């Protein structure tokens, strides 16, 4: 392969933000390695990228399995020779009002969004240090804003935010930069996967449709921020407004989110 071509490895790439990021990087001439659990979707994605003249490979990886993470990284390096950009995007959202969430639901949320991300970072960092590459963490505006019905998700993304802040200090002098992306409402299937990991395409998305950003638009902003080696980027206009309000007008923010509870109850399935 062309040694001048940048190598991008993306976890959680079978759908949503990860898939769109792979497509856009492929179109820009990057070599793309995509990982997720649903290998049939990865194969379709790789075929799509290659049909447009891009270079891509699929590597199965469940980020809750540390051995699979190590094996995936080894396969990418063996195939492409190195990793220049690693995007820790794999994630899920556990929903439910706080008092109804079980220990198992909390464990799943944190295993994927926090521990899975942490182990991905731990094992890919040695490769990024060789290339003075870019590390990308997928956070969320939920890290800043009160989260009725998604408190577990918000807690997991707050952890990702702090991991990013810590890494930016620890990586000083290594040549590796770390950016944490905090998207607002992005069109994806993340809310159509239930708390046990089962996907239902007919599940109604409880998020406000009028605020939803198209995935391709959001990913363009993400790639721009990654290229500039920014430390943090909030994605979507409404996301920036929410973060601003949460920082400087927390009482107003809590009142706004409290009003959303009735709307949330209208959109969630009855038990």
Annotated catalytic sites, by residue?
153
CB of 23 within 8 A of CB of 42? no
Query: Could you tell me the CA-to-CA distances from 42 to 96, 229, 255, 271 in Å, in that order?
Result: 30, 27, 42, 34
C-alpha 58/C-alpha 160 separation (Å) is 25
- Whose tokens are 């107003």? That residue is 252
DSSP state of 45: H
* Exposure of 239 in the CB half-sphere (CA atoms within 13 A): 19
Longest dimension (CA), the chain: 55
Let me know: does 77 contact 33? Beta carbons within 8 Å: no
Q: Give the chain's count of helices (H) and strands (E).
A: 9, 7
The span from the CA of 38 to the CA of 20, in Å, is 16
> Residue 76 burial by CB count (10 A; 0-12/13-18/19+): exposed, middle or buried?
buried
């Amino acid at each position: 392969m062309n040694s001048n071509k940048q190598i991008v490895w993306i976890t959680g790439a079978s759908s949503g933000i990860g898939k769109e990021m792979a497509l856009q990087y492929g179109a820009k001439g990057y070599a793309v390695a995509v990982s997720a659990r649903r290998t049939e979707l990865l194969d379709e994605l790789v075929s799509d990228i290659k049909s447009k003249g891009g270079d891509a490979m699929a590597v199965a990886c469940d980020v809750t399995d540390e051995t699979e993470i190590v094996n995936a990284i080894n396969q990418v390096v063996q195939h492409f020779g190195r990793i220049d950009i690693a995007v820790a995007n794999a994630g899920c959202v556990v929903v439910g009002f706080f008092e109804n969430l079980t220990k198992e639901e909390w464990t799943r949320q944190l295993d994927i969004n926090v521990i899975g991300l942490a182990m991905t970072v731990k094992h890919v960092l040695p490769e990024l240090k060789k290339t003075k590459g870019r590390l990308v963490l997928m956070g969320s505006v939920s890290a800043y804003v009160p989260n009725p019905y998604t408190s577990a998700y918000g807690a997991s993304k707050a952890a990702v935010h702090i991991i990013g802040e810590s890494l930016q200090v620890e990586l000083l002098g290594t040549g590796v930069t770390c950016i944490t992306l905090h998207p607002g409402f992005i069109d994806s299937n993340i809310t159509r996967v239930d708390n046990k990991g089962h996907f239902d395409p007919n599940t109604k998305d409880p998020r406000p449709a009028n605020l939803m950003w198209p995935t391709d638009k959001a990913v363009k902003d993400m790639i721009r921020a990654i290229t500039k080696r920014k430390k943090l980027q909030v994605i979507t206009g409404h996301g920036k407004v929410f973060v601003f309000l949460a920082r400087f007008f927390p009482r107003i923010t809590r009142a706004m989110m409290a009003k959303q509870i009735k709307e949330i109850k209208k959109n969630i399935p009855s038990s």
